[in-house]
Amino acid sequence: MKLPPPATFAEGQRLIYGWLAAAAGVFCGACSVALVAMLMWGGWSPREEHTIVLILGCALGGFIACMAAVMIGLLVGGPVGRFKGSAGRDGVTLEADGDANSGGEAGDCRH
């Protein structure tokens, strides 16, 4: 399956954003796996175990938070562009467009 090239500058920006966000999610996932492997097979001395677990555990929590931020970013305003969100004094709102591309326009990627 080959996607059509972006027709506008905004579509090109969304494409770049999508690739960067996806790569960031994959990077954070790989780092999370590496941290778990370091915790399991690091061969830490009993004196260092508590400190190492605390440091690497906080780093693992940060990577998990980054992956969650990537997922939320892709859902709210990512390359699809069908979801819009805002936060203000009145609260948080999320809006979803209907089938904006159901007519087979340039952004329709279903084949």
Q: What's the rounded mean pLDDT across residues 2-31?
A: 81
Predicted confidence (pLDDT) at residue 98 exceeds the cutoff of 70: no
pLDDT score for 14: 77
* Mean pLDDT (whole number) for 72-85: 64
pLDDT at 77 over 70: no
pLDDT at position 110: 42
Residue appearing with tokens 């562009």: 81
pLDDT tens for residues 17-30? Answer: 778 878 887 888 88
Domain boundaries, the chain: 9-96
Phi then psi for residue 102, to 5 deg, are -75, -15
- Three-class secondary structure of residue 43 per DSSP: coil
Take residue 111 and report the two structure tokens written for it: 């084949």
Q: What is the pLDDT of residue 22?
A: 80
C-alpha–C-alpha distance, residues 79 and 52, integer Å: 38
User: What is the rounded (10 degree) CA torsion for 94, 66, 64, 31?
Assistant: 150
**Residue 41 confidence (pLDDT) above 80:** yes
